[in-house]
A and B are shown apart, each in its own frame.
Chain A
Amino acid sequence: MSLPALLVRLTVATAGAYLAAAAWVAAFVAIWPGGTADAVLGGTVTAFPVATAAVLWAFAARSAARALAGAVLGILVLAAIGWLAP
């Protein structure tokens, strides 16, 4: 693995995983049909498996470019749900 590719994957695995977890919480709170406190609890508890999956993805993806593209796409979709959902 070349150094730039490694750095890209490391960025996805750290900043990307954190942003994915934060965006997951926002999306969960936005679309959870039940109570607000339940949405916050449920979204935050499940954010850690999401972050873990993002780290695994960062190194499992076939190329660093794919790792980055997948992470950006996932974060954008979650953030869009979180901030644009009614």
Chain B
Amino acid sequence: MKPGGGLRQAMAGLHIWGGLIFAWLLYAVFLTGTLSYFRDEISLWMCPEIPPVATTPADAAARSVARLHEIGGGAYRWLVDLPDERNPVARLAVWREAGPGPRFQREAFDPATGRASTARATHGGDFLYYFHFDLHMPWRLGRYLVGLAAMAMLVAILSGVIVHRRIFADFFAFRLGKGQRSWLDAHNATGVLALPYHLVITWSGLVTLMFLYLPGGIERAFPDDRAAFYAAAGQGQATPPASGRTAPLVEIRPLMREAERRWGGLRVGRIDVRRPLDANARIELTASDADHLAHGHPRLVFDGVDGRLLSDSGRASWVVASERTLYGLHLGRFADPALRWLLFCLGVAGTAMVATGLLLWAAARRRRGGRFGHRLVDHLNVATIAGLPLAIAGFFLANRLLPADMPGRAGWEGNIFFAVWAAAALHPLARTRTQAWREQLWAGAAAYAALPVLDALTTGRGPWVSLLQGDWVFTGFQLSALVTAAILAWLALRQGARAAVSTIPSPTAPSRDPPAAT
């Protein structure tokens, strides 16, 4: 192969085929990951019983730890994610090795009332967040698949840059309504516009799970002692062995004051207690992610019985700080609302880049006839690009429509997500390509448009109420649902228009029929 043209051709092949194999998975990862920027807000929307303006008492930490004394007997670890301006409830978690009680237990705790939140059971935004890198698959299979997809993404981005020689010249030429040419323009625009974002989000995403993919470094440098590595790398403490002697836990308030004094203005975001009520208890305080870029950093470890400071990660090396910053960049928890929306828009651009790449692949090969591979790609495109937003809408609808006291409710929300997606995957078998697109897009538009209506009917927090109350979580969700519905409806109408042009160019063409509800 000659350099120059030969190289570009080789990179084009790599971009097109390497990209295609993982594109459906990448679309799902990008879309659910983008929604996860609003993980806390989605969780709040899915718990409408939590009032919009909750008061957070000054001693929320002490009340949360007191609550753990009630529910966390026999545990080896307690965790408190403290409330902040995005999240009015504390998230408590308890881990047990054996004995009575569940191994893992969570509770949304309202420190203002001192009781467990009475909100409906739901996984909330966590469902989409975990799907984003785990796919809810057993044996970490999802995490390996997502890692492979992320590597394919890095390769596709770099090979795409090599292929696309006039990367900035083409950028302002956007041709709408020209079929294949439009998909190419949209693919280039969304790719180039947010190129640094795509690179950083993909690389930092691999960094969040890097020791699952490449455990060799730890195994060589810290044989048989992963916990020592994580402690040295500023990623949390090891659980000390239990002494077997009980001892009361030290008062949390003085430790909080000490942490905030040392950090000069940073708040405590997380309290992590190992071996609570044992003589070997350790309490780790971590600074809130909301206040700074680096994830989970700095942190302090105290003796859990006498409150002595045992270690201070404030002296972390620049390497640790850099890695924590990449991690923090991926999560985006540092961002204030304006920056959060910008990150969200960049994530949407990434999702659109993957989707337009898939549509471009299909459009470029359509006139070559209906080979099985082409039909398969068309089928998967509908089921993923239109089907996944529909499944997410089903998840949100389930949250509003399932009875609040239904047993196993949180799990059923997830089951309905997968059931709707499965239906969207089968539906194109019975329809033509255009029909399948149009019907799934219309179904998605209807489902998203129904969400604000259901808010008004089932929660008493409909769009007008939330707008008048200045409730930006609900207002933001409702407006986003309506914008999503409008976009899906616009795409559905364009499907109809194109079908009319390419098949029967008459006013009575089937595309003008009222949309079929699915």
Which residues from chain A sit less than 8 Å from chain B, CB to CB? 17, 21-22, 25-26, 28-29, 34-45, 47-49, 51-52, 55-56, 59-60, 62-63
Tell me whether A37 and B214 are in contact in the complex, defined as CB-CB below 8 angstroms, given that A29-B221, A48-B154 are known contacts. no
Chain B 188-229, CB within 8 Å of chain A: the 1/0 string?
Answer: 000000000000000100110011001011101110000001
Chain A residue contacts of B217, Cβ below 8 A: 25-26, 28-29, 39-40, 43-44
Let me know if B233 and A56 touch, CB within 8 A. Answer: no
Let me know if B211 and A37 touch, CB within 8 A. Answer: no
Let me know if A45 and B232 touch, CB within 8 A. Answer: no
Chain B 396-415, CB within 8 Å of chain A: the 1/0 string?
Answer: 00000000000000000000
Nearest first, the 3 closest Cβ-Cβ pairs linking A and B are A37-B232, A38-B319, A40-B217
Q: Using CB atoms, name the residue of chain B closest to A39.
A: B221
In angstroms, Cα B154 to Cα A38, docked, is 24
Let me know if B216 and A26 touch, CB within 8 A. Answer: yes
Chain B residue contacts of A59, Cβ below 8 A: 10-11, 13-14, 159
Given contacts A44-B214, A55-B151, A60-B7, 20 further A-B contacts (CB under 8 A): A21-B214, A26-B220, A29-B217, A36-B221, A37-B222, A37-B229, A38-B320, A39-B221, A40-B222, A42-B319, A48-B206, A48-B210, A49-B154, A49-B203, A52-B151, A52-B155, A55-B14, A59-B11, A59-B14, A62-B1
Size category of the B interface is: 35 or more
Chain B residue contacts of A17, Cβ below 8 A: 151
5 contacts across the A-B interface (CB closer than 8 A): A38-B319, A49-B203, A52-B158, A56-B159, A59-B14
Tell me whether A41 and B233 are in contact in the complex, defined as CB-CB below 8 angstroms, given that A48-B207, A59-B11 are known contacts. yes
Chain A residue contacts of B7, Cβ below 8 A: 60
Q: State which residues 138-176 of B face A: CB under 8 Å.
A: 151, 154-155, 158-159, 162
In angstroms, Cα B207 to Cα A7, docked, is 29
Chain A residue contacts of B11, Cβ below 8 A: 56, 59-60
In the complex, which of the residues B155, B207, B216, B319 contacts A56, with contact meaning CB atoms closer than 8 Å? Answer: B155
Chain B residue contacts of A41, Cβ below 8 A: 233, 319-320, 323
Let me know if A44 and B14 touch, CB within 8 A. Answer: no
Chain A residue contacts of B322, Cβ below 8 A: 45
Let me know if B214 and A47 touch, CB within 8 A. Answer: yes
In the complex, which of the residues B158, B159, B203, B233 contacts A40, with contact meaning CB atoms closer than 8 Å? Answer: B233
Which residues from chain B sit less than 8 Å from chain A, CB to CB? 1-3, 6-7, 10-11, 13-14, 18, 151, 154-155, 158-159, 162, 203, 206-207, 210-211, 214, 216-218, 220-222, 229, 232-233, 317, 319-320, 322-323, 326
Let me know if A38 and B317 touch, CB within 8 A. Answer: yes
Let me know if A48 and B229 touch, CB within 8 A. Answer: no
Let me know if B1 and A52 touch, CB within 8 A. Answer: no
Q: Using CB atoms, name the residue of chain B closest to A30.
A: B220
Chain B residue contacts of A38, Cβ below 8 A: 317, 319-320
In angstroms, Cα B1 to Cα A86, docked, is 41
Let me know if A37 and B320 touch, CB within 8 A. Answer: yes
Let me know if B232 and A25 touch, CB within 8 A. Answer: no
Chain B residue contacts of A47, Cβ below 8 A: 210, 214
Chain B residue contacts of A44, Cβ below 8 A: 210-211, 214, 217
Q: Using CB atoms, name the residue of chain B closest to A64.
A: B1
Let me know if B151 and A51 touch, CB within 8 A. Answer: yes
Least Cβ distance of A13 to chain B in Å? 8
Let me know if B317 and A40 touch, CB within 8 A. Answer: no
In angstroms, Cα B179 to Cα A1, docked, is 30
Q: Using CB atoms, name the residue of chain B closest to A17.
A: B151
